Amino acid sequence: GQQVMQIPQYQHVQEGEDFTTYCNSSTTLSNIQWYKQRPGGHPVFLIQLVKSGEVKKQKRLTFQFGEAKKNSSLHITATQTTDVGTYFCAGPRLDSSYKLIFGSGTRLLVRP
């Protein structure tokens, strides 16, 4: 079945260092969404990418959607302690856009 994988599973960085998480789908996605979940919290929507090769920026966060629409990445420049949390990518299943498949997530820890 369709799978969405993320690497790495964990990343522990020093405050100020950069961070990148990668998302790979076994099949082509019509779009990809990114969410952040703080410890003990619920997922919060960050962004949606739709076009092949699309790049979007939100302050220190840069999101990319691959040319083949099967992979995506999230890059954080100069991490801060407020960036701590788990970052999930999610894409709709091919047989129905109503079913959102979440990746396994990357947990980011930031040392002050």
Partner 1 sequence: DAGVTQSPTHLIKTRGQHVTLRCSPISGHKSVSWYQQVLGQGPQFIFQYYEKEERGRGNFPDRFSARQFPNYSSELNVNALLLGDSALYLCASSLGNYNEQFFGPGTRLTVL
Binding site for partner 1 (CB under 8 A): 31, 33, 35, 41-45, 48, 88, 90, 92, 96-105
Residue 26, CB half-sphere, CA atoms under 13 Å: how many?
10
Angle ∠(85,67,60) on CA atoms, nearest 5: 35
Angle ∠(8,9,11) on CA atoms, nearest 5: 70
| DSSP for residue 26 | S
Coil, strand or helix: which one is 83?
helix
Residue 28, CB half-sphere, CA atoms under 13 Å: how many?
7
Q: Which is nearer to partner 1, 24 or 77 (CB)?
A: 24
Residue 86, CB half-sphere, CA atoms under 13 Å: how many?
17
Q: Which is nearer to partner 1, 79 or 86 (CB)?
A: 86
Q: Please report how close the Cβ of residue 84 comes to partner 1 at its closest, in angstroms.
A: 16
Q: Which is nearer to partner 1, 30 or 80 (CB)?
A: 30
Q: Which is nearer to partner 1, 10 or 67 (CB)?
A: 10
Q: Please report how close the Cβ of residue 4 comes to partner 1 at its closest, in angstroms.
A: 8
Q: Please report how close the Cβ of residue 23 comes to partner 1 at its closest, in angstroms.
A: 11
Q: Please report how close the Cβ of residue 16 comes to partner 1 at its closest, in angstroms.
A: 27
